[in-house]
Amino acid sequence: MIPDWSAERREMIDRQLRGRGIRDERVLRAMSGVPREEFVPLELRILAYSDGPVGIGCGQTISQPYMTALMAQELELDGSETVLEVGAGCGYAAAVLGALAARVVTVEIVPALAELARSNLRRTGRDGNVLVVRGDGSMGYSPGAPYNAISVAAAAPDVPISLLEQVRDPGRVVIPVGTREDQALRVIRKRGGRIDYRTGVQCRFVPLRGGEGWH
């Protein structure tokens, strides 16, 4: 039997997102519009709307829907922004951010995953305003800078300075910061030349690799 994906998607929105306090209607609408099953490997598609991360190959994961929603909500996008994502993975979060902002640049360090993200975005018709760049994004991506918002989908020991330099004023950065096993989502705001931050929910992401990540 073929699962009823739109029913599963509605249930995800109600239980996992609204039920846990995601209130930004634009985020909820964006996640209602992106077919998450298309971003999960065929053999794991049955888990596409499960309440946790799912393997996508190369030891990496598609993030839990709630984390994708929360990070997008924290960026407070209105549709006019240029957004940098570090860690495209399968391209799902990039598709969601693409529905919320004017333009998205997403960097992926694993070549096979950069290719996977590209093909998933193309197949779902989400590649119009999303550029996938293959490379180390731990120091951002200067050719596209400055960005109105930056979302980092892998955990770092600390906030890379380059990301703070590449975000506009005013602008926002969300990034999981902590140890390899345990992190908290950090929400950073640049405004009037000042940078302040807030520590949000506990989380567990795959490690950020490369120059400003874990070696």
Name the site residues for ligand SAH (rule: CB under 6 A).
60-63, 68, 86-90, 92-93, 107-110, 113, 136-138, 153-154, 206, 208-210, 213
Of the two residues 41 and 194, which places its CB atom closer to ligand SAH in the complex? 41
CA distance 12 to 1: 20
Of the two residues 101 and 109, which places its CB atom closer to ligand SAH in the complex? 109
- Residue 133 structure tokens: 């760049």
Three-state DSSP class for residue 78: coil
Shortest CB 129 distance to ligand SAH, Å: 16
What residue has token string 């399968």? 90
Vertex 106 angle, CA 102 and 107, to 5°? 160
CA distance 147 to 33: 24
Shortest CB 14 distance to ligand SAH, Å: 20
Of the two residues 1 and 44, which places its CB atom closer to ligand SAH in the complex? 44
CA distance 162 to 21: 31
- Residue 154 structure tokens: 């892998």
Is 6 annotated as catalytic?
A: no
Of the two residues 114 and 187, which places its CB atom closer to ligand SAH in the complex? 114
Catalytic residue among 63, 119, 142, 162: 63
Beta strands in the chain (DSSP E): 54-57, 60-62, 82-86, 103-108, 130-134, 147-152, 167-178, 183-191, 194-203
Shortest CB 7 distance to ligand SAH, Å: 22
Shortest CB 211 distance to ligand SAH, Å: 7
Of the two residues 28 and 40, which places its CB atom closer to ligand SAH in the complex? 40
Three-state DSSP class for residue 196: strand
- Going by C-alpha positions, the residue among 71, 65, 25, 32 that lies closest to residue 48 is 65
Spatial contact of 205 and 63, defined as CB atoms under 8 Å apart: yes
Shortest CB 34 distance to ligand SAH, Å: 10
Query: Which residues are annotated as catalytic?
Result: 63
